[in-house]
Chain A
């Protein structure tokens, strides 16, 4: 069966050849080897059970995203009084001041992109279990976009840190961080871990135990 599959498919994978490829250095080893003999990394067989880890990190990311939106991100005190801003509150305030451009940037960076990442990772984790090899390129591009954008969401936390460190002018103006900064940072970190534990090699495989896989390739 394995031999038929190799003959039919255009490209032979390490898995097809009865080997496990090291995701860290690219060296291949016979299937069943535990650690890569060259770089020492744990060898991950291409196995859909690794998706459970993805779901766990993703759930943690979503859970921490909720308080990130409910609690204030920034506490601003100026001469006229002090105010607390949640992410969405900050966007609404920017809109009411007419700063549509900045409002759009904050809205996209802090709300659209995080939610988009949750949806994209969930979609990928669902899709690799069911779809055939054909969807590969589209899914790989989606994965690479999510993987690339992941760390950039930390920018919000850094902006809060820089603003709070910089704007300390006594009674004239002071900005202090709010509790949402921590849960936002955790949400970003967990989403990054979810993307990192997603094995893109699964994209190119059909359902793991589907006997039809050898026919459609």
Chain B
């Protein structure tokens, strides 16, 4: 995508790099082309070939996995004849007593609430677009919410946190994995795939074209 040297009339044909403000002329891309900023290399447009339907499918998958991850048993610890099951919900609720209570809410939001809200907003935005229909009302707001929430949805960090915690108790007791643990592991792969298939510019263009 060529950097801009003279300002054209049609502002819709321009992309300003969100990282460095360099102006680019938006040109139609081929099936496997991607566009990066000429100055700082930030990815501007990724190919649309597999875009909308794939993202919708993956967001649905992620929602189903999240239900499994929350309600099935997560981990089981046993030592010296005693055992204790914990679910994702109980992990978040450990802070529920006293002054730590707000942290419980924050943990629950970052690992379950915000990811679910993000998936729902993406499905709402992309479902009509994937079917070739005009975007539903408030699709722009929904997609913007999904974008803003991205840094705050931390399901994948929670899974790595689980691994660290397991290393710490490994000498103390034996650990069993429940279905929720595997659901969470698949969930982070699905989420990563979904993020990789999404091209912000293409989606904004499609929402705009209604």
Which residue of the partner chain B has the closest CB to A169? B82
- Which one of A21, A25, A165, A181 contacts B201 once the chains associate, using CB atoms below 8 Å? A25
Q: CB within 8 A of A169: which of B17, B84, B100, B201?
A: B84
Q: What is the size category of the interface that chain B forms with chain A? A: 35 or more
Closest 10 CB pairs of A and B: A21-B16, A158-B161, A14-B16, A165-B91, A164-B94, A13-B21, A162-B165, A201-B21, A165-B86, A25-B204
* Complex contact B91–A162 (CB within 8 A): yes
Check A169–B140 contact: CB distance below 8 A: no
Which B residues are in CB contact (< 8 Å) with A24?
Answer: 18, 144, 147
CA A11 to CA B40, docked complex, whole Å: 11
Within 8 A of A (CB), among B28-51: 38-40, 44
Binds A, one of B3-11, B52-60, B126-134, B187-195: B3-11
Question: CB-CB < 8 A to B79: which residues of A?
Answer: 169, 172-173
Known: A11-B3, A166-B86. A179 touches B77 (CB 8 A): no
Q: Is B168 a contact of A155 with CB atoms below 8 Å?
A: no
Render A106-145 as a binary contact track against B, CB cut-off 8 A, 1 for contact: 0000000000000000000000000000001100100000
- A151:B154 contact, CB within 8 angstroms: yes
Contacts of A13 in B (CB 8 A): 16, 20-23
As a 0/1 sequence over residues 1 to 27 of chain A, the CB contacts with chain B under 8 angstroms (1 = contact) are 000001000111111111111111111
26 contacting pairs across A/B (C-beta < 8 A): A17-B4, A24-B18, A24-B147, A25-B204, A27-B11, A28-B16, A29-B11, A41-B144, A102-B168, A150-B151, A152-B157, A157-B107, A158-B158, A159-B164, A162-B165, A165-B91, A166-B77, A166-B86, A167-B77, A167-B169, A169-B83, A169-B84, A173-B172, A173-B173, A204-B20, A204-B39
Q: Given A11-B3, A38-B207, A158-B161, A23–B18 Cβ distance below 8 Å?
A: yes
Number of residue pairs A-B, CB distance < 8 angstroms: 211
Complex Cα distance, B41 from A200, in Å, reads 13
**What's the minimum C-beta distance from B18 to chain A, rounded to whole angstroms?**
5
Q: Which residue of B lies closest to A137 (CB)?
A: B40
Shortest CB-to-CB span from B184 to chain A, Å, is 11
Say yes or no for B90: interface residue by CB 8 A criterion.
Answer: yes
Q: Are B11 and A19 closer than 8 Å at their CB atoms?
A: yes
Contact A196 B151, beta carbon cutoff 8 Å? yes
Instruction: Type the 1/0 row for A151-195, where 1 means its CB is closer than 8 Å to any CB of B.
Output: 110111111011111111110110011010110010001001000
- 1/0 per residue, CB under 8 A from A, across B61-85: the answer is 0000000000000010101101110
Tell me, yes or no, whether A68 is within 8 Å of chain B by CB: no
- Interchain nearest-CB distance for A147 vs B (Å): 8
With A161-B91, A166-B169 already in contact, the answer to whether A181 and B20 are too (CB < 8 A) is: no
**How many angstroms from the CA of A182 to the CA of B98 in the assembled complex?**
11
Q: Which residue of A lies closest to B98 (CB)?
A: A179
**Which A194-214 residues sit within 8 Å CB-CB of chain B?**
196, 200-201, 203-205
Contact (A200, B20) CB under 8 Å given A166-B77, A169-B84, A185-B103: yes
Nearest residue (CB) in B for A14 is: B16
Are B23 and A14 closer than 8 Å at their CB atoms? yes
Cβ of A46 < 8 Å from any Cβ of B?
Answer: yes
B179 on the interface (CB 8 Å rule)?
A: no
**A125: shortest Cβ distance to chain B, in Å?**
16
Report yes or no: A40 in contact with B140, Cβ–Cβ below 8 A: yes
- Cβ–Cβ contact B160 & A155, under 8 A: yes
Is A104 interfacial (CB-CB < 8 Å)? no
* B106, CB-defined interface residue at 8 Å: yes
